[in-house]
Amino acid sequence: MSSIAATGQRWVAFGDAGATGTILHTAEGYAVRLLDDDRARGTYPSLDVAKSALHAGMPPGSDWPEFREH
């Protein structure tokens, strides 16, 4: 089991219904979590890939979310 160490960067994804998920920059990459899911969806090597993975986990037909850094 790997631990997640934050590097201080976090993005929140907003869709039509409000916040849908987060991306956290860790020492291992970019960890994706949907707000309706208790577990991380995966860790990806780049922010662009993580954004695509988050969008893929949203309901079919969802528009591309707005990502805001926090």
pLDDT tens profile 4-63:
554 579 999 999 889 999 999 999 999 999 998 877 789 999 999 999 999 999 999 999
Predicted local confidence at residue 48, as pLDDT: 98
Q: Which helix or strand (DSSP H or E) is residue 49 part of? A: helix 47-56
Using an 8 Å Cβ cutoff, are 10 and 69 in contact? yes
Name beta bridge partners: 32: 23, 42
Predicted local confidence at residue 3, as pLDDT: 54
pTM over 0.75: yes
Nearest of 69, 37, 53, 6 to residue 14 by alpha carbon: 69
Query: Helix (H, G, I), strand (E, B), or coil: what is residue 47?
Result: helix
